[in-house]
């Protein structure tokens, strides 16, 4: 069974997000420290999976080929820096399609679990929205981290009150990776009460 998997949202976690969607490689910009963070997690033996809503496809703003080209280029740059993305799972649908794969539904994580026999109890989800956190909780992930690097700002009081409050809140993926690595070194310090 695959342990210590790290699920990463893409837009707002790895790269800058946009209210206009990321529709081409020319619009893609890595957030500071994100590539190094993935490389550090890889060195620690964490399998990395991207779990991403990409409704630009369903909205006919970008083709699947364009979205997959972005993922391909992103992976190559991550690999050239010593990181490894094990696999990418994305939902191309619009919210009104009511599919089973669009976050906060857990379909993408379940797909990854089935393909790779992932132990979700040891898995961590890193996202920039409460939808990502809800998805991870719906799937049964052991830990959730909310990063504040997305373009949508979440009211601090709302995120602490919500039923699906994250286990940890941090500025960005760099800090999230540090927290995950510390948890791996001393897991009992992060056990849920």
Q: Please give the Cα distance from 188 to 48 (Å, whole number).
A: 22
Active site residue 9: yes
Q: Which of 11, 17, 128, 172 is catalytic?
A: 11
* Residue from 9, 40, 132, 172 carrying the catalytic annotation: 9
Specify burial of residue 148 (Cβ count, 10 A radius: 0-12, 13-18, 19+).
middle
Is 69:92 a contact under the CB 8 Å cutoff?
Answer: no
Helix (H) or strand (E) holding 168: strand 168-170
Active site residue 155: no
Tokens for 187, please give them: 């897991």
Tell me the torsion sign for CA atoms 26, 32, 36, 37.
negative
Length of the chain: 193
The residues annotated with a catalytic role in the active site are 9, 11
């Amino acid at each position: 069974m695959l342990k210590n998997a790290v699920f990463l949202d893409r837009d707002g976690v790895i790269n800058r997000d946009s209210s206009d969607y990321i529709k081409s490689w020319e619009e893609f910009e890595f957030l500071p420290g994100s590539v190094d963070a993935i490389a550090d997690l890889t060195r620690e033996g964490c399998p990395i999976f991207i779990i991403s809503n990409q409704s630009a496809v369903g909205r006919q703003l970008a083709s699947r080929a364009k979205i997959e080209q972005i993922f391909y280029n992103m992976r190559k740059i991550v690999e050239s820096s010593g990181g490894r993305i094990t696999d990418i799972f994305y939902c191309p649908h619009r919210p009104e399609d009511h599919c089973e794969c669009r976050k906060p539904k857990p379909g993408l994580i379940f797909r990854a679990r089935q393909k790779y026999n992932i132990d979700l109890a040891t898995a961590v989800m890193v996202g920039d929205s409460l939808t990502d956190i809800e998805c991870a909780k719906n799937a049964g992930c052991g830990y959730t981290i909310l990063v504040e690097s997305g373009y949508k700002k979440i009211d601090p009081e709302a995120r602490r009150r919500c039923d699906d409050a994250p286990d940890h809140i941090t500025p960005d993926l760099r800090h999230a990776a540090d927290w995950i690595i510390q948890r791996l070194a001393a897991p009992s310090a992060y056990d849920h009460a």
